[in-house]
Amino acid sequence: MTVSLAELLATARVVSLPLSTRFRGIDTREALLLRGPAGWTEFSPFVEYDDGEAAAWLRAALDFGWADPAVPAGAPTSIRVNATLPAVEPERVEAVLARFPGCRTVKIKVAEPGQTLADDLARVSRTRELLGPDGRIRIDANGGWNVDEAEHAIHALAPFDLEYAEQPCATVDELAHLRTRVKYMGIPIAADESVRKADDPLAVARAGAADLLIVKAQPLGGITRALRIIAEAGLPVTVSSALDTSVGLSMGAYLAACVPELEYDCGLGTAALLAADVTEEPLLPRDGAIGVRRVEVSERLLDEHAASTDRTQWWLDRLARVHAIVAND
């Protein structure tokens, strides 16, 4: 798809949104929003990502804002979502989960740098206490353990009835090795970074290194490409987000609505972790779900949360560099 840089710059708006709880080591989330013929779309690769990795995120923005992927007839109009629990102290768990009304599933961050397995156990234990026996708990280590550490941690956390363990180790080989070690526990292994940050997102499926995949529309290059990956992988998936604004979350909701058999609650409720958003009607969880709809952006909120002049220029320069990469596809 060919969209000129001038056309992108004509509608580009950069925002800096405060978080309600520190997450992934940040207190604010920056994003660049664009308006295409189909509506608002988002380009928000994390600031540490290089231009090559960010190119997939721009392809996703163009796919959603200009190509307008269609949701099939009969697709759901709402998507069940999980609560996302950062690596907070046990006494803060209840307050965070209160931001996700009706969510029956909680994804808990573990293996946080500077914390211990005892911290993870305390956080998971408090969550199980609040959810009761019927709630679903999944853990996400973001590749923070080696194989031995992961096996030990999963064994220690198994009594809390884990739905699955997401990206416990960093590499595909480690995931494959770990999966054979923990198979007797009956806890599935999910792959996230090994899909969205990989040159070959299907390698983890071919290696038999995961039981399910975490797919995210922006990092995978958009809805159209993500659906191809899902079809080729042949594994169950969870559709998730990358701490997007409600605009990016709407892209994820469209993707989830296009997945024929969605067995797991999706990680698309993260607008609840934002203390501000770009729309007067954010995609916040209601009764454990979010709607499948496009988001109309508020000019007032764009102005109120506009990034500084320096940060805006940083994003516009980044957009220009990444656009040059995408234009050569």
My answer on whether 202 and 87 are in the same domain is: yes
Q: Does residue 145 sit in helix, strand or coil?
A: coil
Residue 283 has pLDDT above 90, yes or no: yes
Tell me what pLDDT residue 24 has. 76
User: Is residue 183 over pLDDT 80?
Assistant: yes
Distances (CA, A) of 77 to 39, 184, 262, 292: 18, 38, 14, 5
Same domain, 103 and 65: no
Residues 101 and 150 in one domain: yes
User: Does 184 share its domain with 271?
Assistant: yes
Q: Taking a C-beta distance cutoff of 8 angstroms, is the pair 38, 296 a contact?
A: no
Number of folded domains that form the chain: 2
The CATH number given to whatever domain includes residue 309 is 3.30.390.10
Give the mean model confidence (pLDDT) for residues 61-70: 94
- Residue-wise pLDDT tens digits, 190-240: 999 999 998 899 999 999 999 999 999 999 999 999 999 999 999 999 999
Instruction: Determine contact, residues 99/273, Cβ cutoff 8 Å.
Output: yes
- Give the per-residue pLDDT at 261: 86
On whether both 30 and 119 belong to a single domain, the answer is no
Catalytic residues: 109, 216
Please check the confidence at residue 21 and state whether its pLDDT lies above 90.
Answer: no
**SS3 letters across 165-221:** EECCCCCHHHHHHHHHHHHHHCCCEEECHHHHCCCCCCHHHHCCCCCEEEEECCCCC
Identify whether the C-beta of residue 160 lies closer than 8 Å to the C-beta of residue 131: no
The residue-averaged pLDDT of 261-290 equals 97
192 labelled as ligand-binding? Answer: yes
Domain with 27, as residue range(s), is: 5-70+299-327
| Token pair belonging to 175 | 């995931």
Contact 33, 328 (CB under 8 A): no
| Residues in contact with 171: Cβ distance below 8 Å, sequence separation at least 6, in sequence order | 143, 194
Let me know whether 34 and 112 are in one domain.
no
Residues 284, 139 share a domain: yes
- What predicted TM-score, i.e. pTM, was given to this entire model? 0.95
Give the pLDDT confidence score for residue 156 in this predicted structure. Answer: 98
DSSP H or E run through 29: strand 26-36
Mean pLDDT score of the chain: 96
Same domain, 310 and 281: no
**Is residue 124 over pLDDT 80?**
yes
**Mean predicted confidence (pLDDT) in 144-172:** 98
State the Cα–Cα distance between residues 42 and 21, nearest whole angstrom. Answer: 22
Q: Are residues 148 and 248 in the same domain?
A: yes
Residue 89 shares a structural domain with residue 28: no
Tell me the mean pLDDT in the region 313-320: 98
Query: What per-residue confidence (pLDDT) applies to 143?
Result: 97
Are 5 and 67 in contact by the 8 Å Cβ rule? The answer is no
Q: What integer is the mean pLDDT of 76-92?
A: 97
Residues 156 and 254 in one domain: yes
Element (H, E) at 16: strand 13-23
Is residue 166 part of an annotated ligand binding site? yes
Query: Is 171 in the same domain as 187?
Result: yes
Helical (H) or strand (E) element with 18: strand 13-23
Residue 1 pLDDT > 80: no
Residues 300, 114 contacting (CB under 8 angstroms): no
Q: Give per-residue pLDDT as tens, 22-40.
A: 887 889 999 999 999 999 9
Contacts of residue 110, Cβ cutoff 8 Å, sequence gap at least 6: 87, 120, 123, 124, 139, 140, 141, 144, 153, 157
